[in-house]
Structure 1
Amino acid sequence: MPRLFTALTLPEDVRMWMTGLRGGLRNARFIDPENYHVTLRFIGDVDERVADEVAHTLSRIRRAPVPVTISGLGSFGNKKQPHSVWARVEPTPELMELQADQERALQRMGLPAEARRFTPHVTIARCKGATSREVADWLTVRGAFCAPPFVAEEFALLSSRASVGGGPYVTEDVYPLNLARAA
């Protein structure tokens, strides 16, 4: 039973730029650069029949390439226990519309709505055991981070192991974003 999600993968130069964020946070498990991505829609554990239907549904989405800007850092969790640090992805109209198209298409095929509000980001590390103070200090030192912008010309259907999160991920399918932009 695969655990599926859709994502924008990052070009190699952007992934390498982001490697400068690795380290300096005690008890953090940093994501390997080859696994950096912008999750668009978490689908979850599904059987093979549903996985095939998801792949077919996603193949019908038509969108133009999506400009992506990564700028700034943040954390998820609460004041007592942060659980991850991430790089902020600018929520452009193109990105938000692509994500909304996927959400609508997957709901039409009967999958439940995503419970969390879409916050575009790239997870840098999982923070099991890092204190709020340590995370705040890490963010303060690196908070002005920005990566070179790029244009995503495809999105991917990825699968992961259920165990720990953070990869390794398997690319199950890739969908081009090649609809001509309106003049």
Structure 2
Amino acid sequence: MRLFMAINFENNVKDAVQNIIDDLKKYSKQGKYVDSEHMHLTLEFLGDISPEKVDLIIDAMNQISGEKFILALSKIGYFKRREGNIYWIGFTESPSLFRIQSKLHSILVDRGFDLENREYKPHLTIGRKILMNSNFNPERYLEDLGEIKISVEKIDLMQSEYIDGKLKYKVIYSRDIRD
């Protein structure tokens, strides 16, 4: 099972981000943009996990609690790649988000999961292999991004799989952090 932990977004957030992506497409020469059904904020990528270990992950998630918090989108950026860049939308700094991600990471490592050991940089991937025209200015989206707020009350364990050649995400377990 290919698994990851995420914060999923309400449809109004996905719609607002989709509107920005639709506008971005006008400035790109090439690229594959993310469908709204795949929009999420990854907390921890787990990779291929045997079904016997799912209970360990769920138990780790059950140790996470806290107050509901709000995430705000901040800017459009990219990770440079030779074949085209990975474009993303960043988030304003959130101590609550970093606390949850750090605790999940620590618990899972203590339980023997082999996770990436690098600084957590929260972002929403919006496209891959993107080449933008020279007239593209990501700052034109700052006002629109600033209006998008994400209420975080739960975290989800997600399964990623290809069904009939199409990538599908499925929620395996959901944890309300307010418990």
What is the TM-score normalised by the length of structure 2?
0.84
2:5 aligned residue: 6
Seen in structure 2, the aligned counterparts of structure 1 residues 159 and 51 have a Cα distance that, compared at 3 Å, is same
Q: Secondary structure at the match of 2:116?
A: coil
1:11 Cα deviation from its structure 2 partner: 1.2
**How far apart, CA to CA, are the structure 1 residues paired with 2:140 and 2:35?**
18
**How far apart, CA to CA, are the structure 1 residues paired with 2:111 and 2:174?**
19
Structure 1 alignment gaps of length 5 or more: none
1:69 aligned residue: 72
2:125 aligned residue: 123
Equivalent residues of 2:31, 2:84 under 8 A apart: no
Matches within 5 A, 1:13-32: 13-20=12-19, 21-22=21-22, 23-24=25-26, 25-32=28-35
Note the alpha carbon deviations across 1:100-125, whole angstroms, 9 max, x for none: 01101111111124233211111111
**Stretches of 4+ moved more than 3 A in 1?**
80-83, 135-143
Seen in structure 2, the aligned counterparts of structure 1 residues 136 and 99 have a Cα distance that, compared at 3 Å, is farther
The alignment status of 1:50 with 2:48, answered yes or no, reads no
What is the TM-score normalised by the length of structure 1?
0.82
Equivalent residues of 1:67, 1:152 under 8 A apart: yes
1:75 Cα deviation from its structure 2 partner: 0.6
1:106 aligned residue: 108
1:77 Cα deviation from its structure 2 partner: 2.5
Equivalent residues of 1:7, 1:158 under 8 A apart: yes
1:89 aligned residue: 91
1:140 is aligned, of 138, 141, 148, to 138
Q: Secondary structure at the match of 1:57?
A: helix
Letter of the aligned partner of 2:128 in structure 1? R
Letter of the aligned partner of 1:175 in structure 2? R
Seen in structure 2, the aligned counterparts of structure 1 residues 97 and 52 have a Cα distance that, compared at 3 Å, is same
Q: How many residues align?
A: 171
**Percent identity at matched positions?**
21
1:176 aligned residue: 176
**How far apart, CA to CA, are the structure 2 residues paired with 1:39 and 1:27?**
25
**How far apart, CA to CA, are the structure 2 residues paired with 1:102 and 1:35?**
22
1:65 Cα deviation from its structure 2 partner: 1.6
Higher strand share: 2
2:151 aligned residue: 151
Seen in structure 2, the aligned counterparts of structure 1 residues 97 and 137 have a Cα distance that, compared at 3 Å, is farther
CA RMSD for the aligned pairs? Answer: 2.3
Seen in structure 2, the aligned counterparts of structure 1 residues 137 and 96 have a Cα distance that, compared at 3 Å, is farther
Equivalent residues of 1:155, 1:175 under 8 A apart: yes
